[in-house]
Amino acid sequence: MQAWTKPEIPVVPGPARRLRLYDTASRGLVEVPPATDGSARMYVCGITPYDATHMGHAATYVTFDLINRMWRDAGYEVHYTQNITDIDDPLLERAAATGVDWTDLAHSEIQLFRDDMTALRVIPPQNYVGVVESIGLVTDAIADLQRAGAVYDVDGDLYFAVKADPTFGSVSGYDVETMRALFAERGGDPDREGKRDPLDSLLWRHERPGEPAWDSPFGRGRPGWHVECSAIALEHLGMSFDVQGGGSDLIFPHHEMSASGAQVATGEHPFARAYVHQAMVGLDGEKMSKSKGNLVLVSKERQAGTDPMAIRLALLAHHYRTDWFWAPTDLLDAQARLDVWRGAITRGSGPDAAHTIDAIRAALTNDLDTIAALSAVDTWSDSNGNDPESPALLAQALDALLGIKL
């Protein structure tokens, strides 16, 4: 799948810093990549394209964009893969409800997402990969799981036996009761008769009348969700890549299952070195979600004339590991801050920029502390100085490190 236009990324003078991130699995900060070996690999779970990008999605992709930017700043060659869940129940349901062909719906929402990402200056992945174009990869992964003895049949549907992975549960660290509740809530089927373990997850759903289906060694059907991300990540990044990312709603079952599936299919461990999760952005007391319909959409805001850089700055004003609720004041505050910064970089001179740039790097490499990074820029804007190079240097750093083009 075609990704989107890559923004210009200026090179910033001064020493870069190594990135530390909170890893959900080990429940602590880890350095990623662990060594200065020249490359860094990241997989981020992409959209299910049945509705437009909301502020929660945008927060997720901007967060992982900061990781990308910190790695590039440190000189790593970044390998970034993102999937598109372009066949799934919600997509088929929305298409049926609106009388639109499901592939047309997916394509138009993917295009809207590309436009939103471009406007927000998110660096595109090198591999932007749809599930529909990866069915062969997914069926290969299921065949590997079969060879590992981890697959069984329930009335023609194939299931992954989670017990085949002795480390199952180690991504989320949740107890069985919590896993079971979340599994039921997030697309799983713990109570289906014939399953060996309530947590076993669907790998291949045999063809149902009226549903799209593909040929496979297991008969016609379509893939289950988790194995899609295992297969796409394995193909484009291989095992033990540096960061598996997405929103915290994906910790369980999605990231737990996709890690286990890949580990059992390859016999290697771990799937990812760090599991990084963006907290949930909500609206009016609830998680913002396409299914609830309580959305603030990036595209609507853009159409209304909002500066995309104000949207990005509004997102950056919240730390990625804290849940928060979107409010109109977020945008007003961000626009006001942007105006102050724009005023400051058009001055003839300013205070020393090197110190501020180092403070931005120190904050961002410390588990993406965007609040401290923005505050360092505020301090620079509020101070006077006589360095004529400083405003241009700072503008360059904001563009490269925070993705804010003034």
Residue ranges that bind ligand 5CA, judged by CB under 6 A:
45-48, 56-57, 59-60, 83, 85, 229, 246-247, 249-250, 278, 280-281, 287-289
Least Å distance, CB 212 to ligand 5CA, is 17
Query: Which two tokens mark 125?
Result: 């992945």
Q: Smallest distance from the beta carbon of 208 to ligand 5CA, in angstroms?
A: 21
What would the two tokens of residue 171 be? 């991504």
Minimum Å gap between C-beta 103 and Zn ion is 20
Helix/strand/coil (H/E/C) assignment for every residue in 328-360: HHHHHHHHHHHHHHHHHHCCCCECCHHHHHHHH
Nearer to ligand 5CA, 290 or 361 (CB): 290
Nearer to Zn ion, 68 or 230 (CB): 230
CA angle 377, 383, 385 (to 5 degrees): 115
Window 19-58: contact mask with Zn ion (x via CB under 5 A): --------------------------x-------------
Q: Does residue 309 touch Zn ion according to CB under 5 A?
A: no
Question: Taking CB within 5 to 8 Å according to partner kind, which of Zn ion, ligand 5CA, none is near residue 351?
Answer: none
Least distance (Å) between residue 56 CB and ligand 5CA: 2
84 lines the binding site for Zn ion (CB under 5 A): no
Query: Around Cβ 187, how many Cβ atoms within 10 Å?
Result: 17
Nearer to Zn ion (CB atom), residue 256 or residue 399: 256
Q: Which tokens in the block code for residue 22?
A: 């909170």
Q: Which of Zn ion, ligand 5CA, none sits in contact with 59, Cβ below 5 to 8 A by type?
A: ligand 5CA
For the bound state, the minimum distance from the C-beta of residue 258 to ligand 5CA, rounded and expressed in Å, comes to 8
What is the C-alpha separation between 339 and 187, in angstroms, rounded?
Answer: 44
Residue nearest to Zn ion (CB): 45
Helices 308-316 and 328-345: crossing angle in degrees, nearest 10, is 110
Of the candidates 251, 265, 241, the residue with the CA atom closest to the CA atom of residue 170: 251
Q: What is the DSSP string of 22-66?
A: EETTTTEEEESSSS-SSEEEEEE----TTS--BHHHHHHHHHHHH
Between residues 258 and 396, which has the closer beta carbon with respect to Zn ion? 258
Work out whether 233 is an interface residue with Zn ion (CB under 5 A).
no
Which of ligand 5CA, Zn ion, none binds 281 (CB below 5-8 Å, type-dependent)? Answer: ligand 5CA
Euclidean distance between the first and final Cα of the chain, in Å? 31
Binding residues for Zn ion, rule: CB under 5 A, are 45, 229
